[in-house]
Chain A
C-alpha cells in the first residue's frame, strides 16, 4: 500500500455521509495502473483466495469463489482491461456489487480510500482507446499519476455484449 498516494485533503471529515459532489473511492492497481471505484459499491476486500475454474467461461472470468457461502464470480481484471500482469501482483480480491450480483475483482494491490470532489473529475483523454473511454467514468489527477474511475457495470456489460455477439 505504500506505493499509493496519501489521502487527499478533502477526505478529512471522515464522515460516512458525503456532501454533494464529494465521493469516496477505493483505489487499487491493475497492471501498474491506478484505478478507483466508488467505495459504496465495495462489499469486501479479501486476501488471495482459492478460485475454482469455470471451463468454457469467457476469458475475462477467472472463476468462482466461495465468499462465506455465496458464490461470487471472479473477474480477471488484467484480461478485462487488457493490461499485462506485473511482478508485484498480490492477487487481492475486491468484491463489488453490481445490481443484485456480487463480482470479485482480482487486482494486483489495494490502496487507500480517497475522497474527491466530483467537480475535480476530468474527462477521459481523447487519445485513449475507445474501450477505455467507455468504462472509465473520468480521471482524477494525483501527484504524478492519474486515477482512472472505473465504471464496473459498463466494463461488465461491454464484455457481456461481446460474448452475446459471439454466441
Chain B
C-alpha cells in the first residue's frame, strides 16, 4: 500500500477514535463549541487529505459532512438530535470506508448518494426536526430556514418535493432501524412548515434504499475490525519532545558507560568487567533503538519536489524528468528538517537554471527531456545526497569575468585558476546575489546560504560541473546531530572539542618536526606539501593566557581543519583523544560569540566548548586571501614584515644572508666539473648549459674535492651561481638593515638571530657575472629593455596594492609595494633601486605630493620617474602633480593607461 495512504489511515483512525468519545459529548450537548470544532476539524482534514490522495468517495462524504458542520459551527443552524444522528452516520460511513481501504488498499465501491442527500438537506436546514426555529435558538432569525427551501443551497438541485421525499425517507429509515432516536415525532412539534405529510408516496422506495447503502459498510465492519486494529497498532504517535528527551538521556547514558569502561580498562581482574560489558552492549543497542525512533526516510523531505518541478516545468516550458533514488534512506528527523529547504533550493536551481529549454537541448544533441536526479545513500556514518542535472553546466568563462569585475581576484590569477577553483566562487556570499550570473551561467542564487545551512549541521557541499554536460552537487551530512565524534584539544590550559568531520589531519610543529610555523606578513602559515596553509592560533583567537607570543617557536600541533572549501590550520598546544560527545546548544547569551557551535560534558564531567570551524574560518579569511599576494612579495624578498633569509658563510667566517626568495636553487657542483677561469670565477654545468659561478672575494676558499656548494640565482634569462663555504640556516626575520654598506656586493648589515649579518646584493653579482658579456653586445640594449623593470607601488589601500601588483607583474614588471611613503623611504634607505615609482596621492601622514617633494634632489631616487595614480584627476591636482615632477597623472582604474605611461617613461629613461 502507498505509504501516504497508510499514514493517512493511521492518522484518520486515530482521530476517529478520539472522536468516538467526543461524539458522545456532542450528542449530549450539541451546542458545545469545542467539541463541534474538533469534529469539524477532523472532518475537514479528512476531506482535504483524501482529495489529495484521490479517494473520491470518501471525499464526497466528508465534504457533505463538513458542509453541515460548518453551519453549526458558525451558528447558522442549531444541531438537533436528528442532525446529530446524520453526522454520526456520516462518521460511521467514513470509518467503514477507511477500514476497507486499510484492508484492501483501495476505496470500496458503494453508493453514498442517500447519505449525502441527507447531509445536504441538513445543511440546508431542511432536515426534519433539524432546523432551528426552536424559540430559544439564536439562529431562529437567520435566513437559513427561509431561503433553504427555494434556493439550491450548496449547488445541489433541491426541489421542495424531492427534499420532502428525502426527509420522509429518513424518517422512515429511522423508524426501520428504530435505534438511535426513540422517535423523531416529539421534535416536529416545533418544526417548520415543510411537512412530513408530503412524504408517504416516496416512503416505500426510500425506506428500502437507505438500508442497502448503510448495510455495506456495516456488514463489512466485523470482518474488517482486525485490519483496523492492525493499522492502529503498527505505529503510535509520540510527541517529539518525548523522543528528544529520551535521546538526551540515552546520550548521557552512553557517556557514563564510556566513563565506566575507561575506569575498568586496564584492570584485568575487575569483577565489574563482565556486567559492564553486558551493560555496554545493551546501551549500544538502546542507543541505536532510540536513534531509530528519530529516523525518518529522506523521502519525507522530497515530497514537495515533484510538485515544484511540475510547476516549474509548466511555467518555463522545459521538459523535466525528476528522478528520485533512495527515498527510503533514513536519517535523523532533526537533520531532515535542516536540509529540507537547502535541498529544495538546489533542486529548483538545477531545474530552473541548470537545465536548458527543449530547443536548446535538441540543438546541443541532448534528449529533449532534461533529467534532474536526486539520490541518497549511506556512506560511513554519513548520508550522501547527490543532485545531478544534465543541463548546461556552469559557464566558467562568465564566472571568471565576474570574479575580476568584482575584484575578488586579478585577471592573471583568474586565468591561472583551474576550473573547479573558479566554480567555487559561486558559493561566495557577494557573488551569488548578482543577478546577471544567474541568468547567464545558471547558478548562484543563495548558494552561499545553502552552504551555510548545510555546514551548520556539520555537513559539506561539493560540486563539479562540466560545461555543456551538467552539474552534480554532493551533500554530505551526518546521520544524527545528537552524538558526534570530536577531537579534544588544549590551548592555554583550556580544552575544546573540534568536530571530527571537519578535521583533515594533525601536524606536529614541535621541535624536531619537519613542519615549522612561518610568518607571512605577520600572519602564521604552515608550509604543508608545497602549499601554504593559513593558520589561526587558538590561544590568540580566544585570548587565552600566554596569547602574546605568536607561538611560532613553541611546541604545538596544527589541526588541519576544513570548513566548506576553506582549509586552514588551528594551532593548539596539545591534543587529547577523540571522544563521542553530545552536542548541546550554547546559552542564548553566548550566541554572539561566533567560535562555538555548542558545548558538551566530557566523560569526566567537565563542561567544554565545541569549536565551530566555520566561525573560526571567518577569522582566517583575510590571511588566506593575502597569501597569494604575499607569495608574490616573497619572490622579491621584500615582504613588509618578515622575510625568510638564507644564512651562509663565504670562508671568512662572517655570516652572510640573502632573501630566500631570490635563491632559485641550492646546488652542489662537483669540483671536477668546475671550469675555473683566470679571474677567479668558474663555469659550471647547470641544467644543460654553462653558468658562471662567482666567488665572493679573491680569498674565497674553493673546495678542493667533492662538491662546491653554491646558491643559484636566476634573473629572467640569466642564471648564475654564487659559491659559498657553508649554508648555515634559514631564518624568518624582520629584515631591518641597520648599517648601510660601502663594500661592493653588500647591501648592508642587519642583526639577524642576534648576530651581525651582511646582506648581499645579488644584482651586483649578477652584473659581475654578466657585465662583461654585455658591455659590447649589441643585443645588450635590447636585453636591458626587456629586463624586468622594478616598480615601487605606494598605496595605503591593501586592496589596491593586491589588485595592482599582480596586474603589473603580469605585464612584466617586478613590483615592490609599500603601504605609505614613509615605508617607501625606508626601502630607499635600505638600498632598494627602482626603475619607476607609482604612487597614490591621498594617503595619511605623507601624501603623494609630499612624497614627491621628499624625493626631489635625492641622489638615488631623485631621477626615478614618478607616476601618480589617484581617484582625483581634476585639472588643478593634475597641475600640482606635474609641477612636482610627476611624469603622468592617471586614474586609479585606468590600468591600460598606467602601462602605457610606464612604458613611455621607462623607454625615455633608457634612452637618456
Contact = CB atoms under 8 A, between A and B. Distances in A.
A164 interface: yes
A57 B599 contact: no
B607 A65 contact: yes
Contact of A58 (B252, B589, B595, B609): B589
A71 B255 CA distance: 15
Contacts of B910: none
Interface residues on B, range: 20 to 34
Nearest to B582: A69
A64 B494 contact: no
Nearest to A52: B607
A12 interface: no
A56 B608 contact: no
B605 A101 contact: no
Contacts of A53: 494
A61 B589 contact: yes
A73 interface: yes
A163 B596 CA distance: 16
A56 B589 contact: no
Given A61-B589, A66-B607, A163-B589, A71 B494 contact: no
B894 interface: no
Interface in A133-157: 156
Contact of B590 (A52, A69, A73, A164): A73
B589 A160 contact: yes
Contacts of A63: 607
B584 interface: yes
Contacts of B608: 52
B599 A56 contact: no
A45 interface: no
B607 A56 contact: no
Contacts of B584: 71
A46 B605 CA distance: 16
A105 B600 CA distance: 20
Interface residues of A, number: 24
A125 interface: no
A159 interface: yes
Contact of B543 (A56, A65, A71, A156): A56
B109 interface: no
A164 B494 CA distance: 26
Interface in B509-552: 542-544
A164 B608 CA distance: 24
Contacts of A57: 590, 593
Interface string A56-94: 111001011110010101000000000000000000000
Given A50-B606, A52-B608, A53-B494, A73 B543 contact: no
Interface in B588-602: 588-590, 592-593, 595-596, 599-601
Nearest to B547: A55
Nearest to B249: A69
Contact of B592 (A50, A55, A156, A167): A167
Contacts of A54: 590, 593, 596, 599, 609
A103 B589 CA distance: 10
A69 B543 CA distance: 28
B587 to A, nearest CB: 4
Contact of B607 (A55, A58, A64, A103): A64
A55 B494 contact: yes
Nearest to B599: A71
Contact of A160 (B588, B595, B596, B606): B588
B594 to A, nearest CB: 9
A101 B587 contact: yes
Nearest to A164: B592
Contacts of A69: 248, 252, 601
A73 B609 CA distance: 12
Contacts of A73: 587, 589-590
In the complex, which of the residues B248, B587, B601 has the most CB atoms of chain A within 10 Å of its own CB atom? B587
Given A55-B494, A56-B595, A156 B589 contact: yes
Given A52-B608, A54-B596, 8 more contacts: A52-B494, A54-B609, A55-B492, A55-B609, A71-B600, A73-B587, A160-B588, A164-B592
28 contacts: A50-B606, A52-B607, A53-B494, A54-B590, A54-B596, A54-B599, A55-B492, A55-B494, A55-B609, A56-B543, A56-B595, A58-B589, A63-B607, A64-B587, A64-B607, A65-B607, A66-B605, A66-B607, A71-B584, A71-B587, A71-B607, A73-B587, A73-B589, A73-B590, A101-B587, A160-B588, A163-B589, A167-B592
Interface of B: 248, 252, 492, 494, 542-544, 584, 587-590, 592-593, 595-596, 599-601, 605-609
